């Protein structure tokens, strides 16, 4: 059975001290029985190196919330994949809807960043998802398939290519304070469509957007869902540990 990937991105929250305290607590309290669950944490870039040191050698991967497609050069304010790798990143989040909306991320830059991430041996976490208008018009499946095709078409199959990619389906209408938790049946069609095209080719397809300890178990039951990508509900380490436990129980029930 493939592992369930359960990750959190801190977005623009936490000082270095707060992120390190979180990582220390996670390291100390993580149930050694998390076999079958692959945890990952994406702190702010300022805390990435220290958090990676704290978690080094344990089961939790760390990663960056963004990285540029070029290795170096005149790109003021950006960090490259080799730079975030040097700070300990094993995962690179790409194309979150907040970056697409506010920072000009496009299908093309997502594609370039996914390639750069693979080229350097890291795990691309490619985010996709439709807004409320597309959802209301019944266009979710087409929209999301198009985004993921744009990001991943042409990548080689196998362990150094698609086999290392994570896809996170995060409907924009479900993300953050302004979002609402989905009913599982509202996101099942997209997961079925993604699984049909990409399920056997990528490492896992995750669900994200208003995941909580109340709905995580139901979301993990949706066919094709291979993990969860969580914001607010995992920013408190207790919440993240509870979510990891829910995933562990799900793995236990499946094996």
- The span from the first CA to the last CA of the chain, in angstroms, equals 8
The distance of closest approach from Cβ of residue 160 to ligand PGA in the complex, given in angstroms and rounded to an integer, is 26
Contacts of 67 (CB under 8 A, 6+ apart): 78, 79, 80, 81, 83, 84, 89, 92, 94, 113, 116, 117
Surface-to-core class of residue 154, CB atoms within 10 Å of its CB (0-12 exposed, 13-18 middle, 19+ buried): exposed
The distance of closest approach from Cβ of residue 224 to ligand PGA in the complex, given in angstroms and rounded to an integer, is 18
Q: Which residue is nearest to ligand PGA (CB)?
A: 231
Compute CA 6 distance to the chain's CA centroid, rounded to the nearest angstrom. Answer: 8
Q: Is residue 78 among the annotated active site residues?
A: no
Catalytic residue among 50, 93, 170, 191: 170
By C-beta, is 6 or 82 nearer to ligand PGA? 6
By C-beta, is 198 or 229 nearer to ligand PGA? 229
The distance of closest approach from Cβ of residue 170 to ligand PGA in the complex, given in angstroms and rounded to an integer, is 5
Diameter of the chain measured on Cα atoms: 51
Nearest to 167 by CA among 185, 144, 140: 144
Catalytic residue among 50, 93, 96, 143: 96
The distance of closest approach from Cβ of residue 100 to ligand PGA in the complex, given in angstroms and rounded to an integer, is 12
Alpha carbons within 13 angstroms on the beta-carbon side of residue 178 total 6
By C-beta, is 76 or 102 nearer to ligand PGA? 102
Contacts of 14 (CB under 8 A, 6+ apart): 22, 43, 44, 47, 235
Q: Is residue 96 among the annotated active site residues?
A: yes
By C-beta, is 81 or 127 nearer to ligand PGA? 127
Structure tokens at 6: 């359960």
Pair 192, 229: CB distance under 8 Å: no
Chain contacts with ligand PGA (rule: CB under 6 A) = 9, 170, 175-176, 179, 208-211, 229-233
By C-beta, is 36 or 176 nearer to ligand PGA? 176
The distance of closest approach from Cβ of residue 47 to ligand PGA in the complex, given in angstroms and rounded to an integer, is 18
User: Which residues are known catalytic residues?
Assistant: 96, 170
């Amino acid at each position: 059975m493939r592992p369930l990937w359960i990750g959190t991105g801190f977005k623009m929250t936490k000082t270095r001290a707060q992120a390190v305290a979180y990582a220390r607590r996670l390291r100390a309290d993580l149930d050694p029985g998390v076999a079958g669950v692959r945890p990952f944490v994406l702190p702010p870039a300022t805390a990435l190196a220290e958090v990676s040191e704290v978690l080094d050698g344990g089961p939790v991967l760390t990663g960056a919330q963004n990285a540029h497609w070029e290795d170096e050069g005149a790109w003021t304010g950006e960090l490259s994949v080799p730079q975030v790798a040097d700070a300990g990143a094993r995962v690179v989040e790409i194309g979150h809807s907040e970056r697409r909306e506010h920072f000009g991320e496009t299908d093309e830059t997502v594609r370039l960043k996914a390639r750069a991430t693979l080229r350097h041996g890291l795990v691309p976490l490619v985010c996709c998802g439709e807004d409320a208008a597309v959802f209301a018009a019944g266009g979710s499946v087409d929209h999301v398939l198009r985004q993921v095709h744009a990001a991943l078409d042409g990548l080689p199959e196998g362990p150094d290519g698609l086999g290392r990619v994570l896809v996170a389906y995060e409907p924009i209408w479900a993300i953050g304070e302004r979002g609402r938790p989905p009913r599982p049946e509202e996101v099942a069609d997209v997961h079925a469509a993604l699984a049909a095209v990409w399920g056997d080719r990528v490492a896992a397809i995750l669900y994200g957007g208003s995941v909580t300890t109340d709905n995580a178990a139901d979301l993990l039951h949706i066919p094709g869902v291979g993990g969860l990508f969580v914001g607010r509900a995992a920013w408190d380490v207790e919440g993240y540990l509870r979510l990891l436990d829910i995933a562990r129980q799900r793995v236990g029930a499946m094996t």
